[in-house]
Structure 1
């Protein structure tokens, strides 16, 4: 279950609808189990407690500045207008954050004001903060299940959509853990199964580069993307894809599990030299913008780069992972 599906089910149920959730995994929570849980929003209770002045307009301007006006303006406006109230809703339901948060930056270029936050519960790994979000919303789901307004089918895969002659989606065909094929019909169908970062073949088809690092939720197979296209839908926004700063892989067999996360220029002064597959330097390693470095990485063959160091660097430079 992707994190967007949980609140969708909750609010549909609270509006009097009967909701059926198809979940491929054996538990609810989805990518929240492996997510960093880093979220940002303007006008939150966490900002208010620290006297931080912020607004959705400032949030919008920051996003557009950081991504050089490449994000969809309509979707970005929806995001900034609802991000703060969503975080406040989480807080009302028990969500807490680190004492020193909100902050201006976390792994990406900095906001103009402190609005990034991350929950401390479950953060046993660098990408474990999603558990704090799950801890806040799971009891609400369980209450709606007990009320009979939400039904969740675990270990069940959505295999096909039921489409009428006029093109309207009427339901879904699923397969449960016993191998039984079942049909469920409803007034509305939402595809909220997330991306394909655990499906190397689909990932490379969509992005044109191999899936090097395997750190996504196992059920992130892109099923919803495939189902949507099967009934006439289409994907957009692929041209906005950009790699991250980099991972140290465990081995050369890709996708590989990460050995460590490379600390970027916001966290340490780089001593190392970055080169591409041709052995050529391609970026100013200490450039102040992580976004700039990531986009330069995305311009290199197959999005690959290597870190060159000598023994003195290894002995004396700030830790790279």
Structure 2
């Protein structure tokens, strides 16, 4: 391979182009020649699909909104909910980096000022939990500002799946990726190569010195003098790895982008990197729809979820990752199938169109919940009685009727005696967005007695796998004995998460990926080798 200064030699090479672009920008803005390679034709990864919520306690946008927060406030919260599932040193590095990162990004006009929005933390009542939440979002971006770079950005999820035309403004993850790409390229030290997929890491004397990649059918090599950052997402689109690490959880239900097949994870494992939490994902219930992957649907407005025995088994308004974990735990431990889960509701759900169109993660597709189309595809069932509906979905009629009647009693009394639905800030936020019932004292509970009755299928989807390569608090990849693999860093879903098995709040995945990508870049900028 060529020596320093040639076209295939860089200071930093970043594999993956989602939130890792923030790390690429941090490196390039410090004067490091930085290459980003992306396996697919687009930059952005699953981050480009997302709402781009960013969970980074104590940031400047929170302060502007008057939210009293910071590492000392958030530390007890993370300690309480994560426990021993990840090293405390990772949480500490995350808490230190977050405010500094946002302050640095906001100094560049390309990023603008992030905006705080009141999305409650996902574990209400734990020490340090904020009912008003910590989540911030990037400002929207006029698509025209990207100029010739615009075609590089991954299309919105609903464009890719439903063919909806892109609008003139980028929002959410589109805006975050667009802004990061602009800022990165304008440093004068950034290069992006799409359609270039990692095949293996190059190691010399125990140090990672570069990468071999497949580009346009040809094997190429890129050297990295300061280090390699693996930020290529998880393995959610790899059926073989999912069966190996998450038996029974299919890759057919994921929301992750098509390129996320675990190439970076495998490359790290091939050179002896340690791994952790490979059985984990950022889970989310998925509503089965015709002709495409399930829709990420955070929680119900009305109705209940029942298993194959016709029994209700959880608060249907739990934050999505908690709901997904409950589904999986019940499915694996009870001897009764919970995959799919049956969402049973009545005419009121359809009468309140906001309950389908108004939620922020609902498809940005006019009329996407077409009842007749859903019925014709067999993904929705309709009946004039609960007994008839039970027969259609294959659950015991008596059990379903009993579950609905018990829930109706809770709705009339205003308190969910079994699962506490309607008691946490998240539950109430969903009601505020989607409207509320008027037939009971608790707006999160509504009587199910207005025929016809319906049943839709809920499966265990995810926003990506979350287990990966073990790192230290500098984002450096470790061996099983705890020693550092020199020259190799990881972040995002390629990295074993600082949050362990939990999802602390909206924007946890994007915020953590940004933070550790930034940590890696700063460490590489400071490294002298």
The answer to whether TM tops 0.5 is yes
2:175 to 132, 141, 144: 132
Rounded Cα–Cα distance in structure 2 between residues aligned with 1:289 and 1:154 = 35
Aligned to 2:215: 176
Q: What is residue 420 of structure 2 aligned with on the other side?
A: none
2:345 corresponds to 1:307: no
Aligned to 1:142: 185
Residue 89 (structure 1) aligned to one of 104, 121, 143: 104
Partner SS for 2:276: coil
- Tell whether 2:297 aligns with 1:262: yes
CA distance in 1, matches of 2:238, 2:180: 28
Measure how far apart 1:39 and its partner are: 0.8
Secondary structure of the 1:219 match is coil
Partner residue, 1:46: 61
Aligned match for 2:89, one of 74, 77, 80:
74
SS in 2 for 1:299: helix
Cα displacement (A) at 1:109: 3.7
How far is the alpha carbon of 1:284 from its aligned partner? 4.5
Tell me the CA shift for residue 40 of structure 1.
1.9
CA contact (8 A) 1:43 1:84 kept: yes
TM-fit CA distance, 1:223: 0.9
Answer with 70-79 or 117-126: which moved more.
117-126
* Match of residue 162, structure 1, among 196, 199, 202: 202
1:62, CA displacement in angstroms?
A: 2.3
2:97 is equivalent to residue 57 of structure 1: no
Task: Report the CA distance shift for 1:185/1:301 in structure 2 as closer, same or farther (over 3 A).
Answer: same
Question: What is the CA deviation profile of residues 172-191 of structure 1, one whole-angstrom value per residue up to 9, with x for unaligned ones?
Answer: 212211x1222222332222
Alignment of 1:1-16 (within 5 A): 1-16=16-31
What secondary structure is seen at the aligned counterpart in 1 of 2:253?
Answer: coil
1:319 paired residue among 343, 349, 355? 355
How far has the Cα of 1:198 moved from its partner?
2.6
1:239/1:150 CA distance change after superposition, 3 Å: same
Distance 2:228 2:347 in 1: 59
Structure 1: any 5+ residue segments left out of the alignment?
A: none
Structure 1 match to 2:164? none
Q: Cα RMSD between the aligned structures?
A: 3.3
Alpha carbons 1:213, 1:257 under 8 Å: kept: yes
* Aligned match of 1:186: 224
Q: Structure 1 residues 55 and 186 mapped into 2: Cα distance closer, same or farther (>3 Å)? A: closer
Shift of 1:234: 3.0
Cα contact 2:50–2:172 (8 A) shared by 1: yes
Rounded Cα–Cα distance in structure 2 between residues aligned with 1:182 and 1:289: 44
* Deviation of the 1:59 alpha carbon: 1.6
Residue of structure 1 in register with 2:135 after alignment: 116
TM-score (norm 1): 0.79
1:298 equivalent in structure 2: 328
In structure 2, how many angstroms separate the alpha carbons of the residues matched to 1:203 and 1:89?
37
* Equivalent residue pairs, number: 303
Distance 2:240 2:103 in 1: 39
Q: 1:305 to 1:80 in 2, by over 3 A?
A: farther
1:222 matched to which residue of 2? 262
Larger Rg: 2
- Taking a change above 3 Å as real, the CA distance of residues 50 and 7 of structure 1, as seen in their structure-2 partners, is closer
Distance 1:143 1:175, change over 3 A: same
Give the SS at the match of 2:91.
Answer: helix
State the Cα deviation string for residues 47-71 of structure 1 (Å, max 9, x = none): 2222222111212222334456644
Q: TM-score, normalised by structure 2?
A: 0.51
Task: Tell me which of the two structures has the higher relative contact order, counting C-alpha pairs closer than 8 angstroms and 6 or more residues apart.
Answer: 2
Q: Which residue of 1 aligns with 2:303?
A: 271
CA contact (8 A) 2:56 2:99 kept: yes
Whichever structure has more strand as a proportion of its residues is 2
Q: CA deviation at 1:96?
A: 4.2
- Check the 8 A contact 1:46/1:102 in 2, yes or no: no
Gaps of 5+ in 2: 1-15, 143-155, 159-169, 333-337, 357-361, 363-529
Following TM superposition, by how much is the alpha carbon of 1:92 offset from its aligned partner in structure 2, in angstroms? 2.9
- After TM superposition, list the pairs within 5 Å mapping 1:275-294 onto structure 2: 275-285=306-316, 293-294=323-324
Verify the 8 A CA contact 1:2 1:29 in the aligned structure 2.
yes
Q: 1:114 to 1:250 in 2, by over 3 A?
A: closer
Q: Which residue of 2 aligns with 1:205?
A: 244
| Partner secondary structure for residue 21 of structure 1 | strand
Q: Provide, for residues 262-320 of structure 1, a one-character-per-residue CA deviation record: whole Å limited to 9, x for no partner.
A: 3426xx4x432x2334544332446x776654432121336624234254564568836
Q: Does the Cα contact within 8 Å between 2:29 and 2:184 map onto a contact in 1? A: no
